[in-house]
Chain A
Amino acid sequence: MDVSEKKGGGFFSGLKKAVGDMFYGVALHQQVTSILKTRMYMEHMFILMIMGDMLGFPILPPYYSLRLLPYAIPNVKAWKHRFYRERDFTDVIYG
């Protein structure tokens, strides 16, 4: 395959990706971010439930806390970003 062919293939595959991305952006990106936000709010509640144990106060019975903690720990860092960020009303146009 010569260079021009490679360039042509690159151009068309790039164009295909660009069009695909644009359609995804028009059609689905809003849905995806909206679902992520819904999950975020549920995670806030979940982490608040087990926060007592993370801080050393046994609020839930320890058995359940220990079962839940492995799911919570990997999310703690991102959760802190989300939970502590102050949100203005102009941040929640789409919920």
Chain B
Amino acid sequence: MVFDTPFGFTIVGLVVFLIAYSVYSKIIDRKVWSPDRSRPTPAHVYADGVEFFPVGRFVLYGFQWNSIAALGPIIGPGTAALAFGWLPAFLWILFAALLIGWVQDYSAMFLSVRKEGRSFGPLAYEMLGPTPRKLLLGFLLFYLLLINAAFLFVVATVMNAFPGSFWSLLVLVIAAVITGHLLFKVKMNVAPVTILAVVLQAIGIALGSTVLANVPPPGTFVFTPPPEGVAAAANPYTYWLIPLVAILVLGSLLPMPRLITPMNYIAYYSLIPAVILLTVGALVSPATGVKLQVPDFRGWAEVFTVGPLWPALFVTIACGAISGWHSLISTGLTSKQIDVETDIRPVGAGAMITENLVGLTALAAWSSIPLLTAAGGASPGNFVLGATTLTSPLLGGEAAAPFLRIFFANYMVGMAVTILTILGRFWRVTMAEVFGGTPLSILGNKLIASILGFVLPIIFVLTGSWTNIWLYFGGTNQLLAGFALLIVGLFLYTQKRFHWYTTIPGIFMMVTTLAAIAYQTYVFADATVGAKLLHPTQNILKNAGGILAVQGINGFSTVVGAIMFIIGLAMAVYFVRGFRRAAKIEVKA
């Protein structure tokens, strides 16, 4: 029976992705936006050779995918499968891939192209007014904090479970510095530098999977709480986060070609093989005998601290289904380089559907091991174990397992660290925008903002529960996606064109994410008032600073959740006003 293996849902998913791209997106493209090859795009009209210049669609497709792919599609499906079973997770990926995910990326890109290449901020200003743009600015600050927190937490956990991945990351950083120097200072040819970079990364993975695999021994700095009243000698937050934050601050301060861009360049040489390996592993699973180890459905309500299926499922899987980050990339970068309007569908929709594939393959990996009982407990590091189980039969079985474990851990860590350095820079710019020219302008200082951008998220990490942080991150991310969908819907409505294909998903995302943020805020508030531990791992904090420290951390998270909720609600009010105002506008034929 093939449906008790990852093959079943992977093949169904691939068929739906194909339909989403070749049928539904094509209909919307032709009927709603009517792309015109002869209409000059901003890349031609405002060509400046730097931000605005025409680029071929395959290049832009690769660039868009590179820019939107991060840790989200890898972690989300596992958390959802853990909480609700693989079937709800799969159905949400499928539903989003068909009706929501690509709709946001593609439509936001098209709107930006039709609006002279404007990015999200100016589009919000134009469609809704100056206050929503300011709200968006404030929202993005919290959003960036939460992404940083979620990703830092995951990286620390993975490194704790697979210490070899820290050493392979270190080699990746060194390889990136060397690559950047050779490419941009020595001006060596790309081909030999690429070979050198890939060889260095392979050496890093080999070291991490052999001689340095157990340095320090896995689980030394465990998340498993020490007994009540026993102080932990060290914990993974402080142990792994210190070198990690040092690397990230350095990355956000150095010029891009010194570290970030070469690191992205090298890291993507593991992304592509990882996605191909996981897809092939899932497709041949009936032959390799890898079975689904996760129940198809666990229940409607909370099983593993994430809350009820609605709204939790829809924010748990973020980037693998839909993500607000993508609209920032689509409008802020890619739209400025679209050559002809007919390229928008392959670039915007095509890259997003590929991202859905990343989410689907991650679900296949997560579902290949019994998540709640596998080594490491319910940890993000279980993705690594699942991916190894799914793919090792392709490469020689158990003999390949140690190498594959560090390869997939390196894949996760690399995906997180590359995006974290970019987020650090974006945070710095946003801080300068918010605090520049105010009495608090010191907060916009390059160094201070960079340090704050990674130290503040550690406060969230100290809450001790990655599921709660992940849901906060997913909630803000999906709320941003709701904003993007509704901005496009509002634009189409003002043009008296068919807007429901984006307005209905927009309303769904707004309502769902506001409910999810409200629920999480309630969870943190309840823990604060009742002096409760949200998760056993908060024992570490309790042992260090007493119950007051736990209350302080949970209280901080409550305040952040409440602010996010209020901003989201205010934006919803502005959207209602915008639609009402647009209803009165007459469009001349």
Contact = CB atoms under 8 A, between A and B. Distances in A.
A22 interface: yes
Contacts of B120: 88, 90
Nearest to B120: A90
A34 B256 contact: yes
Interface of A is mostly: helix
Interface string B142-183: 000000000000000000000000000000000000000001
Interface in B262-308: 262, 264-265, 268-269, 271-272
Interface string B12-48: 0000000000000000000000000000000000111
- Find the residue from B46, B120, B333 having the highest chain A CB count within 10 A: B333
A88 B262 contact: no
B50 A33 contact: yes
A21 B59 contact: yes
A23 B51 CA distance: 20
A59 to B, nearest CB: 25
Contacts of A94: 256, 333, 422, 425
B4 to A, nearest CB: 35
Given A82-B50, A93-B333, A29 B55 contact: yes
B357 to A, nearest CB: 14
A21 B430 contact: no
Interface of A: 17-19, 21-31, 33-40, 78, 81-82, 85, 88-95
Contacts of B426: 92-93
A95 B184 CA distance: 17
A25 B59 contact: yes
Interface stretch (B60-68, B97-105, B467-475): B60-68
A25 B350 CA distance: 14
Interface in B222-263: 255-257, 260-262
B48 A78 contact: yes
Contacts of A29: 55, 59-60, 62-63, 66
Contacts of A27: 62, 66, 194, 265, 268-269
B122 interface: yes
Interface string B323-355: 000001101110000000000000000000000
A92 B429 contact: yes
Contact of B332 (A21, A25, A38, A93): A93
B268 A26 contact: yes
**Nearest 3 CB-CB pairings of A with B:** A25-B62, A21-B58, A88-B121
A78 B331 CA distance: 22
A92 B430 CA distance: 9
Contact of B66 (A17, A25, A34): A25
29 contacts: A21-B62, A23-B62, A25-B64, A25-B65, A25-B66, A26-B65, A26-B271, A26-B272, A27-B66, A27-B265, A28-B190, A29-B66, A30-B63, A31-B261, A33-B50, A34-B256, A37-B256, A78-B49, A82-B48, A85-B48, A85-B51, A88-B119, A88-B122, A90-B119, A91-B119, A91-B121, A92-B426, A93-B332, A94-B256
